[in-house]
Chains A and B, each alone.
Chain A
Amino acid sequence: NAGVTQTPKFRILKIGQSMTLQCTQDMNHNYMYWYRQDPGMGLKLIYYSVGAGITDKGEVPNGYNVSRSTTEDFPLRLELAAPSQTSVYFCASSYSGRAGIKGETQYFGPGTRLLVL
């Protein structure tokens, strides 16, 4: 199993440009998540999905969009990139979304480092 994979690893965007961050998992996990990690800060949830066709906002969704057409893929779309979106983006997945139930462990991808200038 490759686990959770993300592309690209690094990207520089100009203000106002758009891009899609790709995330794929091959563990047949139902739940997928997008986080951003700013320097010196923890992980903040952007969006998550409980299964194909179902997505929901996290703590910091503004400026982002997601879709989940398959179990495996969960792309994150940035529209009109702003310097405030400079960050490291992590995708994660888990089998279960139920805390305290076996399978709730989240597995992270390697991250995408995004710089908006």
Chain B
Amino acid sequence: GENVEQHPSTLSVQEGDSAVIKCTYSDSASNYFPWYKQELGKRPQLIIDIRSNVGEKKDQRIAVTLNKTAKHFSLHITETQPEDSAVYFCAASYGYSTLTFGKGTMLLVSP
């Protein structure tokens, strides 16, 4: 089955800096890659996703890039703010398979 590795496990940045979280996947058939944000004590919520026919997608301060050849995808957050502090999860799936999640990255943004 699919295996998703996520790095780093924790990331501390200063407000205004950029943050990058990277994920690798094992199954070359995977074609859908969502990113979820989970604030402390809350439910995971989708923040951005990308399909394999697209190399990059942006939504305001958030962007995701996909390298199908290397089988990795990354989340980029620019101009970080304290409210970006949360745990971020990447995931991958293909066809009718279920999502396989990474173990998460705790992002801490210091004022």
Contacts and interface: CB of A to CB of B under 8 A. Distances in A.
B101 interface: yes
A90 B41 CA distance: 12
Interface in B42-57: 42-46, 49, 51-53
B96 A99 contact: yes
Interface of B is mostly: loop
B88 to A, nearest CB: 11
Contacts of B99: 45, 106
A53 interface: no
Interface stretch (A13-21, A64-72, A77-85, A107-115): A107-115
A41 B99 CA distance: 15
B95 A40 contact: no
Contact of B31 (A48, A58, A100): A100
B43 A43 contact: no
A11 interface: no
Interface in B40-98: 42-46, 49, 51-53, 89, 93-98
B86 to A, nearest CB: 14
Contacts of B93: 99, 104
Nearest to A98: B96
B94 A108 contact: no
- 3 smallest A-B Cβ distances: which pairs? A99-B32, A42-B101, A108-B43
Interface of B: 4, 6, 9, 30-32, 34, 42-46, 49, 51-53, 89, 93-99, 101-104
